[in-house]
Amino acid sequence: MQKILSIRLRQGGLSFYASDGDGAGTVSMEAYFAPGGSRREQMTAAFDAFAVKSGIDTYDRVRLFADTADTVFVPDAVVGDTVPAEWLARMGVPLSPDMKAVRTEAYGGVCALFPVDTGVVSWLADRLGHRAAWYSPLHESMAAFRRTEASGDCFVVYPTQENVYISRYGTAGELSLAEVYPLHGAADMVYYLSELAAGERNISLYIYGDRPVRYTDTLKRYFGRVAAI
């Protein structure tokens, strides 16, 4: 059985989630970055602490997720061999000297591009090497949508601790929109969806993630069909 580690990077910290491939034997941990500290040293300390907690120090596969509103979603066929930093600049995403532009693996024909702290990127490359592949939380919600029987024109909404990933699917199940926005509360989500739905109150909304209950009741006041997946 493959040992799989997922690392989710977010503003100010990261989280670890390990499993044996079929969802059994899972263990997780949250870690936070201290302001002004070395990213490499803090990543090493967090990884070593998780190894002690999980009892696992080597993995067959590592999935890296960057949870950031500075993400650009682009069809894989369109990105081609374009340098990620050029795409981010084209889309108006700033890239400071201490950040590196990262391009994810393609999933469902969609790549994500986003800036990541250079210290974090170099540490991950040195420590994890070829076993690690980058993804976006959007790819998680895309996979969840494929696993369900949801169909027709709908939105899939994935709220994380800091952002909300919104995708829209057409009647044939094709992805027609993918966006990410900062999330401070349910009112933000209602606003984003109202703008994207352009007044379509009866469109189906599917909420993915570990916190759908927090938003379901509020969304039902504004949209006719809301369900968790």
Domain identity same for 117 and 6:
yes
Q: What CATH number is given to the structural domain containing 78?
A: 3.30.420.250
Residue whose structure tokens are 């009112």: 187
Q: What is the pLDDT of residue 19?
A: 83
d(CA 22, CA 221): 37
Considering only CA atoms, give the Rg of the chain. Answer: 18
Domain identity same for 206 and 221:
yes
The last residue of one of the domains, among 79, 101, 135, is: 135
d(CA 162, CA 1): 33
Q: What is the pLDDT of residue 25?
A: 64
Q: What is the pLDDT of residue 141?
A: 93
**Rounded to whole angstroms, what are the CA distances from 171 to 30, 56, 108, 154?**
39, 44, 16, 8
The last residue of one of the domains, among 107, 135, 163, is: 135
> Mind listing the pLDDT tens digit of every residue in the chain (229 residues)?
788 899 999 888 999 999 875 555 689 999 998 988 888 899 999 999 999 998 887 888 899 999 999 999 999 888 877 788 988 998 899 889 989 999 998 998 999 999 999 988 999 988 887 778 999 999 999 999 988 877 778 999 999 989 999 999 998 888 999 999 999 999 999 999 999 998 888 899 999 987 777 888 899 999 989 998 8
Cβ atoms 227, 219 nearer than 8 A? no
Q: Which domain holds residue 3?
A: 1-135
d(CA 96, CA 163): 21
Q: What is the pLDDT of residue 21?
A: 57
- Whole-structure pTM value: 0.90
Residues 225, 139, 196, 14: is their CA dihedral positive or negative? positive
The last residue of one of the domains, among 101, 135, 169, is: 135
Q: How many domains is the chain built from?
A: 2
Cβ atoms 66, 32 nearer than 8 A? no
Domain identity same for 111 and 1:
yes
* Three-class SS state of 147: helix
Q: What is the pLDDT of residue 17?
A: 93
Q: What CATH number is given to the structural domain containing 213?
A: 3.30.420.260
Cβ atoms 155, 203 nearer than 8 A? yes
Q: What is the pLDDT of residue 66?
A: 95
* Three-class SS state of 14: strand
Domain identity same for 54 and 161:
no
Task: Identify residue 138 by its one-letter amino acid code.
Answer: L
> Long-range pairs for 174-181 at CB < 8 Å and ≥24 separation?
175/108, 175/109, 175/110, 175/142, 178/73, 178/110, 178/138, 179/73, 180/68, 180/69, 180/71, 180/73, 180/136, 180/137, 180/138, 181/69
